Homo-oligomer: A and B are copies of this chain.
Amino acid sequence: MTSTAAVREPDAVTRVPVALAERSYDILIGSGLIARAGETIAARFPGRAVAIVTDETVGALHAPALEAGLSAAGIRHHRVTVPAGEATKRFAMLEEVVDQLLGHRLERGDIVLALGGGVVGDLAGFAAAIVRRGMGFVQMPTSLLAQVDSSVGGKTGINSRHGKNLIGAFYQPGLVLADTDALDTLSTREFRAGYAEVAKYGLIDDPGFFSWLETNWRGVFQGGRDRVHAIATSCRAKAAVVARDETETGDRALLNLGHTFGHALEAITRYDGARLVHGEGVAIGMCQAFRFSAKLGLCSPDDAERMAAHLKTVGLPTEAAAIPGGVGDVDALMAAIAQDKKVARGRLTFILARGIGQSFIAKDVDAAAVREFLGEELARR
């Protein structure tokens, strides 16, 4: 980091408002936000104590700067550390975090601050939702996936042996601080996985953004203005959907583009991050959704090829064959899809596309057609 970091202008911060009536809040995106969080929180939420919930990895990297800023702003703070990884999203860890929040004598007006990726945000947000029937909550996402997806929209929760994210609450933060510098500590693989969700917003309903990404993706990976623009555009897109449909009764489902196929691949690889991480599953799933749409005659094969080519260019997998160890046969894939979604009388709901930026909710997809398509997919080499 050069010495110019110290004289960064405040206008380098991009603000994305999330309009949810009395639960509206801001997402601030920019450089150096972790170190400046103390003054930001003191100004917006005066007099509140803060419990930082983080994992061992992120806590070691970023908590000291955050804590120094909180102390400098005169904010009482505590740190609650959980193990890194998806296995942390379970009842026993929730109980442990809740117990520590209460043990630190935090009141209802005090703030649970999630410093980390999606796992920490989901767990800490759920704890904030249920301690004293709802404490203050601030998200400081440190992964690209969390900055553009999981920290926006208020979904919090943990996993059950019956499935992922089956236990939780819709609970909106009072503020999201997305420090784009934090992404420099991610591995390329992690960054790429988050990039799949960035590209998703273009594929859903913003063809101009997808074209921009095709031209400027290197800048997004590099950092600086292009990265801030990509994150802000993604947050704006998600915020708009969430504002229309906070509790997912309608077109919030569009955000699931690529997720039905993707979740099935994750389940089949047993959520083994060495083989497949969520964003990679989404990348393959989006390519499959477009290829399936093309097969059904809904979308031109050119668009399906174009979107897959871009994901491939940035280094993302685009076919199930790319997953180390393979993904079994069609029966296994169909069983995994049926577990993720309710199959009502042989019909499935999918997010399909009429082209890049023209995704839609297809409520009546024939399971037999899905099966035939998956057979062709597994034959791809």
Contacts and interface: CB of A to CB of B under 8 A. Distances in A.
Contact of A98 (B126, B167, B342): B167
A160 B107 contact: no
A265 B162 CA distance: 42
A237 B272 CA distance: 55
A238 interface: no
22 contacts: A91-B91, A91-B95, A98-B160, A98-B167, A99-B160, A99-B161, A102-B160, A102-B162, A102-B163, A102-B166, A102-B167, A103-B162, A129-B169, A130-B130, A130-B157, A130-B167, A131-B166, A132-B166, A133-B168, A134-B169, A134-B247, A169-B169
A170 interface: yes
A99 to B, nearest CB: 7
A155 interface: yes
B130 A168 contact: yes
Copies of this chain in its oligomeric complex: 2
B133 A155 contact: yes
- The A interface is mostly helix, strand or loop, or mixed, namely mixed
Contacts of A167: 98, 102, 130-132
Contacts of A132: 166-167
Interface in A11-38: none
A133 B342 contact: no
Given A102-B162, A133-B170, 18 more contacts: A91-B91, A91-B95, A98-B160, A98-B167, A99-B161, A102-B160, A102-B167, A107-B342, A130-B167, A130-B169, A131-B166, A131-B167, A133-B157, A133-B168, A133-B169, A134-B169, A134-B247, A169-B169
A244 to B, nearest CB: 15
Interface in A160-200: 160-163, 166-170
Interface string A136-171: 000000000000000000010100111100111110
Q: 3 tightest A-B contacts by CB?
A: A102-B162, A91-B95, A133-B168
Contacts of A155: 133
Interface string A100-141: 001100010000000000000000001001111110000000
Among A95, A107, A134, residue most surrounded by chain B Cβ atoms (within 10 Å): A95
A128 to B, nearest CB: 11
A244 B275 CA distance: 53
Interface in A233-286: 247
A76 to B, nearest CB: 15
Contacts of A91: 91, 95, 98
Contacts of A102: 160, 162-163, 166-167
A99 B162 contact: yes
A342 B105 CA distance: 10
A131 B158 CA distance: 10
Nearest to A168: B133
Contacts of A170: 133-134
A301 to B, nearest CB: 37
